[in-house]
Structure 1
Amino acid sequence: MEEKSRWKGFVLVVLGALFWGVGGTVAQRLFQEDHIPVEWLVSVRLVIAGLIMIFIALFTNSRDRTFRIWTHKKAAIQLIIFGIFGMLAVQFTYMASINDGNAAVATLLQYLAPVYIIIYLVITKANRLKKNDLIAVCLAIIGTFLLLTNGSFQELSVPLSAVIWGFLSGIALMFYTLYANQLLQKWGSLNVIGWAMIVGGAALGLFYPPWNIDMSGWTVETVFFLIFVILFGTMFSFWFYLESLKYLYPQETSLLGSVEPLAAIVTSVVWLHIPFGIYQVMGTALILVMVVVVSMPEKKRTVHVVH
């Protein structure tokens, strides 16, 4: 790979990771200060971001596949499954964890997805358990314990509901990552991710219509933060990450993607004044080391996380 192209990849993946991490914190602010319902935000951000991504896809070399994907029965069914049980599940559980707890912990719990993938591949006998896998699992267990307890056996650092949603977010991300591979390769990332967002957002919108929202207390700040979450925290974060895969190896994007939880932690602590104890910092460090271990190249290792 050319050095200039690699630098472009580095910039894209870091920006995408920053946008996702900061987007989670901005969403937390919308939940706490403006009382925006989780269901409404997830539905609206997915549909709008998805429509923009499909529009962009029409100007790329994959435009001939943008609508053709719906004429293939198998692909259409896979896309609907991916949109609901992949895209929507990841987004909703992540946002629900933020709403009940905070963006820092929610992002780190979601970041356990590679460990779930390792366990799943071992259970299904698709992969043998390797030394690096065992180290990663141990780091994840210890790191998660410190993150959630802050060293105290008496109480959790966030409500139990936030922990449950966070674990479910990681499991949903595991399904998202494993299920989408064939679709992405055949139909293009912009098409698949864009349509999945629209399907997931529309499915949730059937139960929580987006027009049922009280905007009487909204301010200019509220609108600005909503635009940020939809454009930067959703569309650009997905798009930039996927674009970076053209210029970098999967292991490199996984490592650089570690900026996500760091961005969520820093913005949560500095901007929203969320308390973050020394044991939680240690737990965070162990989870990030786990990401490094998982990302280390090994034979037949292809696991990397895409939001």
Structure 2
Amino acid sequence: MNRRKGIVLVIIGAVFWGIGGTVAKKLFQQYQIDVDWLVTTRLLIAGLLLLAIQYFKKDRSQILGVWKNGKIAIQLIIFGVLGMLAVQYTYMASIKHGNAAVATLLQYLAPVMIILYLIVRKQTTLTSRDLLTVSLALIGSFLLLTNGSISQLSVPVLAIAWGVLSGVALAFYTLFAIPLLKQYDSLVIVGWAMIIGGFLLSFVHPPWQMDYKNLTLEAILYLVFIIIFGSMIAFWFYIESLQSLPPKESSLLGSIEPLAAVLTTIFWLKEPFGFFQWLGTACIIGMILLLALNKESSSKTSQPPDNKEPLRVS
């Protein structure tokens, strides 16, 4: 029963992540919602909700305890600004200038960047699996962005730039979070990181500076979905799934996220997607599956069995 519960939780969380990006694109297209305002509001509300879950369900002393250690506090601020805020903003900006499918798939280049970083730092060696993974990522990205034609890109250059930056930010986010997660619950770290990022971005676009009167009921429901389901519940369900599933299985099932983004972009937003873009999508999803399989085998030999998983956000 616990295993079935874990499978259901991780699938729901991954689907919410993927759909959340597509819903954001709908807000950008139909209601001209500002990216800065959406990211600010999403981070602040979702962060408060995550800390509320920690307060009522887990060790509430960690919520303020994380700030009592000066070194940890500085690391948390860096993580909130260069990790959480950077990931959220670049991802949403890529969606605004392109679409949720491309933004999500480009963000999933982050694992390749992590592999290359670890190789350069000589913390791991290059394997045949690594070569295959990088090849799938590069070929998939080329097909996704060009639809098989070198003469023109199938998505705007700005969308590509923001998408690649999103992958870089996610790579930093994943690597930088590891020492923090060894000392504090993930809900505390992510909750505070969201609040820090949202607070900083509030100086660029305060959340109260919004013409709420022009928002329709449909737009409000979209906003609620992004904040509650696409952020808070998606992350919470994924973390909870790790209580009854090994990291390998959670990661494999989590790869449903880009597929959900692609399918909702095509069938709900009615955006065109060519044959070669489907091929590119298959390559990148294949890359994610290979990395997920490799992650488990590596963790068995190099990591203690604490069932800690790198954080996920879209």
Match of 1:137 in 2: 134
| Post-superposition offset of 1:245 | 1.8
Match of 1:18 in 2: 15
Match of 1:38 in 2: 35
| Post-superposition offset of 1:301 | 6.9
Letter in 2 for 1:285: A
Listed one character per residue, the Cα deviations across residues 149-196 of structure 1 (whole Å, up to 9, x for unaligned) are 000111111100000000000110001111111212211011111111
Correspondence for 1:187 among 184, 188, 198:
184
Label 1:61 to 1:217 Cα distance change in 2 as closer, same or farther (>3 A). Answer: closer
Match of 2:269 in 1: 272
**For residues 161 and 206 of structure 2, what CA distance do their matches in structure 1 show?**
26
Letter in 2 for 1:281: W
| Post-superposition offset of 1:305 | 5.8
Structure 1: which 5+ runs fail to align?
none
Match of 1:247 in 2: 244
Structure 2: which 5+ runs fail to align?
304-308
Contact 2:140/2:284, CA 8 A, preserved across alignment: yes
**For residues 113 and 250 of structure 2, what CA distance do their matches in structure 1 show?**
19
Report the secondary structure of 2:61's partner residue.
helix
| Post-superposition offset of 1:7 | 1.5
Matches within 5 A, 1:89-168: 89-168=86-165
Contact 1:140/1:290, CA 8 A, preserved across alignment: yes
| Post-superposition offset of 1:280 | 0.4
Match of 1:306 in 2: 312
**For residues 25 and 84 of structure 2, what CA distance do their matches in structure 1 show?**
20
Letter in 2 for 1:186: Q
| Larger CA deviation: 207-216 vs 197-206 | 207-216
**For residues 266 and 206 of structure 2, what CA distance do their matches in structure 1 show?**
33
Contact 1:254/1:304, CA 8 A, preserved across alignment: no
Report the secondary structure of 2:148's partner residue.
coil
Correspondence for 1:169 among 166, 184, 197:
166
TM-score by length of 1: 0.96
Matches within 5 A, 1:42-53: 42-53=39-50
Match of 1:54 in 2: 51
Correspondence for 1:206 among 191, 194, 203:
203
**For residues 66 and 310 of structure 2, what CA distance do their matches in structure 1 show?**
25
Match of 1:223 in 2: 220
Match of 1:237 in 2: 234
Alignment of 1:79 with 2:76, yes or no, is yes
Letter in 1 for 2:105: L
**For residues 197 and 75 of structure 2, what CA distance do their matches in structure 1 show?**
13
**For residues 72 and 304 of structure 1, what CA distance do their matches in structure 2 show?**
22
| Post-superposition offset of 1:218 | 1.2
Letter in 2 for 1:120: Y
Contact 1:100/1:162, CA 8 A, preserved across alignment: yes
Contact 1:122/1:129, CA 8 A, preserved across alignment: yes
Aligned residues: 304
Letter in 2 for 1:119: L
Letter in 1 for 2:312: V
Report the secondary structure of 2:265's partner residue.
helix
Label 1:14 to 1:47 Cα distance change in 2 as closer, same or farther (>3 A). Answer: same
Contact 2:14/2:234, CA 8 A, preserved across alignment: yes
**For residues 113 and 215 of structure 2, what CA distance do their matches in structure 1 show?**
39
Letter in 1 for 2:256: V
Letter in 1 for 2:291: V
Label 1:301 to 1:264 Cα distance change in 2 as closer, same or farther (>3 A). Answer: farther
Report the secondary structure of 1:66's partner residue.
helix
